[in-house]
Amino acid sequence: MVDANPFPEAESEPKTLHVHFLASMPKNPDFAILESIKSERERFVLKDGVLYLHAPDGIGRSKLAANAEKLLGVPVTSRNWRTVRKIMDMAK
C-alpha cells in the first residue's frame, strides 16, 4: 500500500495525505458523486481496497473524507500518512 501511493509528491506534507482502508471493495462505487463533493484541490484514487486522498486544505474541511464510508457503502478506517509511516517503522 505504501509503495502504491499515487501521490508520492504529497508525502512531504504527511498531514495532507490520507489512506482509507476499506473492509472490502465496493461493488459499484459512484465516482461521479465522489468527484462532485471533493474540493477543487483534492485528489483521490481508489485502488486495491484503499482510498488514497490528498486533501491539501485539510481533512477537517473535506466533504469527501467525511462521506467516503457512506458513499462507498463499505466500512473504512482512515489514517494520515504520518501515522502510516510510523506503523511501518514499528513493523520493521
pLDDT digits (tens, 9 = 90+) for 1-22: 999 999 999 999 999 999 999 9
- Looking at residue 28, what is its pLDDT? 87
pLDDT tens figures, 44-79: 999 999 999 999 999 998 999 999 999 999 999 999
Q: Is the pLDDT of residue 30 over 90?
A: no
Q: What is the side-by-side strand order in the sheet with 43-47?
A: 43-47, 50-54, 17-22, 76-80
Rounded Cα distance between 80 and 91, Å, is 17
pLDDT over 70, % of the chain: 100
Phi and psi torsions of 68, nearest 5°: -55, -50
Rounded Cα distance between 41 and 20, Å, is 18
Rounded Cα distance between 66 and 8, Å, is 23
pLDDT over 90, % of the chain: 89
